[in-house]
């Protein structure tokens, strides 16, 4: 989709693929190899085979001179490096959106979303379009330097993007946008720090944890979110962390949490996102090939991204009426 309307199976996308080999925000090394693994697993080729025009911009690289960031109250490891990545990514995603392209950011750890979402939010604000964020993740990533038990910044992007205090120096004077807390939807969550839980409740942020998914199923819970975006004539940024998926089928991540989404649940999410026509941008983060098994996590991610961009087994099902199912051929 672009900012001017929805896409369907007959409308192909202009895609801008941006590698962000960042691992400074994580507690384990290896995520910097994520973009290369996704390309090796055939991501670009798969998108082109689906009929989309994919421009691979290659990987960004840290500048030799890092920005000066004021000291923070608490722990925020490698904040100067994260600031440099964030400023570069915000420019890249803003320019992609401005050119009418759909940015796909390949990570790298989840701190990259500070920059990717910052640039997309800036563009949406200029266009007077409401931006929503779907955070597919085992973790809520809503810590601040004052609350983080580890100081790893891949656990802080949403707090910064929702204007929580403590990380104002990351962007400095560089232009960027923010996310309204009421427009943030956390989906598949199963690990929240106690201080994060307090903040999430105080800010009224929508959290769909795995208990809710177990009880009610993916479809009605996700449909509620998508209908809200559609009703607001908004657009949706999707940030997909590998640990959203159960580690038994996607082990290539440094922060595994048992009990994640199954193969079919993850594909259903992506298929519904495609059908909704509201997705404007995508992060794929936290792939750590060093921890993977013969590339199985990277290959699964490529399959899931393909579902988001229109790959289906047969066709989109119509509504079920009186126990019968009709299929669009």
Q: What is the pLDDT of residues 144-190, one digit of tens each?
A: 999 999 999 999 999 999 999 999 999 999 999 999 999 999 999 99
Q: Quick one: average pLDDT of 124-136?
A: 98
Of the residues 141, 164, 196, 206, only one is catalytic, namely 141
Asked about 303 being catalytic, the answer comes back as no
Q: Quick one: average pLDDT of 316-321?
A: 51
Of the residues 23, 24, 271, 286, only one is catalytic, namely 286
Of the residues 23, 78, 92, 139, only one is catalytic, namely 139
Asked about 4 being catalytic, the answer comes back as no
Of the residues 56, 81, 110, 292, only one is catalytic, namely 110
Residue 97 has pLDDT above 90, yes or no: yes
Q: What pLDDT score does 30 carry?
A: 98
Asked about 209 being catalytic, the answer comes back as no
Q: What pLDDT score does 321 carry?
A: 41
Of the residues 92, 137, 206, 271, only one is catalytic, namely 137
Of the residues 241, 265, 271, 292, only one is catalytic, namely 241
Q: What pLDDT score does 324 carry?
A: 30
CATH of domain 15-308: 3.40.800.10
Asked about 237 being catalytic, the answer comes back as no
Residue 2 has pLDDT above 90, yes or no: no
pLDDT tens for each residue of 197-256:
999 999 999 999 999 999 999 999 999 999 999 999 999 999 999 999 999 999 999 999
- Percent residues over pLDDT 70 in the chain: 91
Residue 6 has pLDDT above 60, yes or no: no
Domain ranges in the chain are: 15-308
pLDDT tens for each residue of 36-95:
999 999 999 999 999 999 999 999 999 999 999 999 999 999 999 999 999 999 999 999
Q: Quick one: average pLDDT of 24-47?
A: 98
Residue 320 has pLDDT above 60, yes or no: no
Q: What pLDDT score does 121 carry?
A: 98
Q: What pLDDT score does 326 carry?
A: 30
pTM confidence score:
0.94
- Reported as a pLDDT band with limits 50, 70 and 90, residue 3 is low
Asked about 110 being catalytic, the answer comes back as yes
Q: Quick one: average pLDDT of 112-133?
A: 98
Q: Quick one: average pLDDT of 309-318?
A: 73
Of the residues 78, 81, 154, 271, only one is catalytic, namely 154
Are 209 and 135 a contacting pair, CB within 8 Å?
no
Q: What pLDDT score does 312 carry?
A: 84
- Reported as a pLDDT band with limits 50, 70 and 90, residue 316 is low
Q: Quick one: average pLDDT of 134-144?
A: 98
Q: What pLDDT score does 313 carry?
A: 66
Asked about 293 being catalytic, the answer comes back as no
Q: What pLDDT score does 319 carry?
A: 46
Cβ atoms within 10 Å of 23's Cβ, excluding its own: 23
């Amino acid at each position: 989709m672009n900012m001017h309307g929805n896409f369907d199976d007959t409308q192909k996308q202009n895609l801008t693929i941006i590698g962000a080999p960042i691992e400074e925000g994580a507690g384990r090394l290896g995520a910097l190899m994520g973009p290369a693994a996704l390309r090796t697993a055939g991501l670009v080729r798969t998108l082109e085979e689906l009929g989309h025009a994919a421009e691979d911009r290659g990987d960004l690289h840290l500048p030799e001179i890092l920005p000066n960031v004021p000291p923070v109250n608490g722990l925020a490891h490698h904040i100067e490096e994260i600031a440099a990545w964030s400023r570069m990514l915000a420019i890249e995603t803003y320019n992609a959106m401005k050119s009418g392209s759909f940015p796909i950011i390949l990570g790298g750890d989840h701190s990259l979303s500070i920059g990717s979402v910052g640039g997309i939010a800036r563009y949406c604000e200029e266009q007077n379009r409401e931006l929503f964020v779907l955070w597919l993740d085992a973790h809520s990533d809503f810590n601040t330097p004052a609350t983080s038990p580890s100081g790893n910044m891949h656990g802080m992007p949403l707090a910064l993007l929702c204007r929580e205090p403590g990380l104002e120096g990351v962007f400095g004077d560089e232009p960027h946008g923010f996310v309204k807390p009421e427009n943030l939807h956390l989906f598949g969550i199963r690990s929240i720090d106690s201080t994060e839980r307090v903040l999430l409740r105080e800010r009224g942020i929508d959290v769909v944890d795995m208990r809710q998914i177990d009880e009610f199923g993916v479809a009605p819970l996700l449909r509620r979110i998508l209908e809200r975006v559609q009703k607001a004539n908004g657009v949706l940024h999707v940030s997909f962390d590998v640990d959203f998926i159960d580690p038994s089928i996607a082990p290539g991540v440094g922060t595994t949490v048992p009990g994640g989404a199954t193969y079919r649940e993850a594909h259903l999410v992506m298929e519904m996102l495609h059908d909704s026509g509201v997705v404007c941008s995508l992060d794929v983060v936290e792939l750590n090939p060093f921890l993977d098994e013969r590339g199985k996590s990277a290959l699964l991610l490529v399959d899931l991204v393909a579902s988001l961009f229109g790959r289906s087994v047969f066709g989109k099902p119509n509504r079920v009426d009186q126990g019968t199912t009709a299929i669009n051929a």
